Amino acid sequence: MDELDILKKDWNKANTDYKKLSVKDIYPLLQKKSSSIVKTLFYISIAELMFWILINSIPYFYSDEYRQKLEIIYSNEYVLTGITFLTYGIILLFIYLLYNSYKSISVTDNAKNLMKSIIKTRNIIKCYVIYNLVIAGVSLIFGFYHALNNDPNIASQIENFSSKELAIAYAIMIICTVIFILIVYLFYKIIYGFLLKRLNKNYNELEKLEV
């Protein structure tokens, strides 16, 4: 049980006068907890950026086969460069917005403003997760499409497929895409969902203070 839960327990046992005074005690705790949660989200986002940079950079520089496959999928190098800059740009924007949310929550001086900052933070996280799910699905479909059309080995095999075999192949690709999106969703659900749940709990407590 943390200090906020202890204070709430005593608050419920006390009389009305004490409750009115306790609002001043509870608000700083909620602000501190909310600020700590957003700060953790900020650090996680930086770790995620480093993770994706390593995942994409290490195979590219140390595996000729991986680099050749990328060159096949993205026949135009400007496309790959553009996608890379867009992906990292979105992550950097997300980090920047989270940092602003953290600063806003840290300096806010009343419950109403703190509630607005929490709502803003939740919306930033949701938009970021939705963006990544869309990008994950589009990237995989894009990869499949270019592999089918630009990889000589795969293209030669597809040419010999019957209509039924071709339908099965496309079905497998769709299933793989859905599974991949679900894995990405679960990743964000576990990483960000837990912290958002705690942030929502703080928001509900602030609503009670405002009543």
b/e per residue 84-104 (b: at least 16 CB within 10 A) = eeebeeebeebbebbbbbbeb
Q: Which distant-in-sequence residues (6+ apart) come within 8 Å of 41 by Cβ?
A: 98, 121, 125, 192, 195
Supply the range of the domain harboring residue 152.
Answer: 3-210
Q: Give me the tens of pLDDT residue by residue for the chain, a chain 211 residues long.
A: 555 555 555 545 554 444 444 566 677 788 888 888 888 888 888 888 788 777 766 655 556 666 666 555 555 556 666 777 777 788 888 888 888 888 888 887 777 788 888 888 888 888 888 888 888 888 788 777 777 776 667 767 777 777 787 788 788 888 888 898 898 888 888 888 888 888 888 888 877 766 5
**pLDDT score for 57:** 66
- Domain total for the chain? 1
